[in-house]
Amino acid sequence: MKKIFALFLALGLGLTAFGQTAENTVSAKINGKEWQGKAQRLNLPFTGVKYLAIAGMNVSPDVQTWIRFVYVDQLKPGTYPIIAENDREMERKYKESNGSVIWALVDYTEETKGLGHAFRDGESWKGTVTITSVTDHSIEGTFEATLKEVNYKKRGLATVSGFGLRQNIEDKVVTAAGGGMLTKSGPHDHDNTKRMETDGEITITDGKFKLNWGGNTAQKTK
């Protein structure tokens, strides 16, 4: 998947990420604990639908919160239910909306062992995302979510060989430089790991995101 992202960049097909600044942030309480990350934004050039991903990212340890929108027409201010990343659920929402739909997903990932040897993730499940303002150059909003917890453990060969360690260090360098979203196909893209189900949940409250990548100031909802 990373090779596909690199190809988009090389061909100039509209894949866009922007660097981290103090003004562009994602913040929330993760299971009651305050957290804030420097924000990045990613657009992908899919045919027929549009994709906007916003992620707050920190390094050492690696902690990320992603807010993703998949939509047909355009993003508008409003409150949208969070759904699971499930093809059947997304198709149902699409039919209910008569083809004009905005899917909202919120995901979380945190490094639980040094340099990415294990991760504790929260997969999009339920809650709401509210877009309070949006233009072609900015977006701002809030979110509250309950996520399904899953764990990822590094496969033995990657750990023993040292390949996984080197790759994780390289990814951290890119993330720290503001291009972390270009190294991953999504919030749960953990190379050389094994996914393990759990019965746990991750709760996100008081979530906020604010990003401006140039142009006019966003028009807020009345």
Q: What is the pLDDT of residues 107-117, one digit of tens each?
A: 999 988 766 67
- Pairwise pLDDT comparison (113 vs 123), residue with the higher score: 123
Strands 78-81 and 50-58: unpaired
Q: Residue 210: name the closest of 132, 100, 144, 124 by CA.
A: 132
Q: In the chain, how long is the greatest CA-to-CA distance?
A: 57
Q: Is residue 158's pLDDT more than 50?
A: no
> What is the arithmetic mean of pLDDT over 182-198?
84
Identify the DSSP state of 187.
Answer: T
Report the mean per-residue pLDDT for the chain: 80
**Percent of the chain predicted with pLDDT > 90:** 45
- State residue 97's pLDDT score: 76
How do residues 47-73 score in pLDDT, each as one tens digit?
778 899 999 998 878 899 999 999 888
3-state secondary structure at position 83 = coil
The pLDDT-based confidence of 7 (bands split at 50, 70, 90) is very low
**Segment of 35-44, 96-105, 124-133 carrying the highest mean pLDDT:** 124-133
Which residues neighbour 33 within 8 Å (Cβ) at sequence distance 6 or greater? none
The rounded distance, in Å, linking the Cα atoms of 143 and 128 is 6
- State residue 176's pLDDT score: 64
Q: What angle do CA 153, 159, 163 make, to 5 degrees?
A: 120
Phi, psi at residue 170, to the nearest 5°? -60, -45
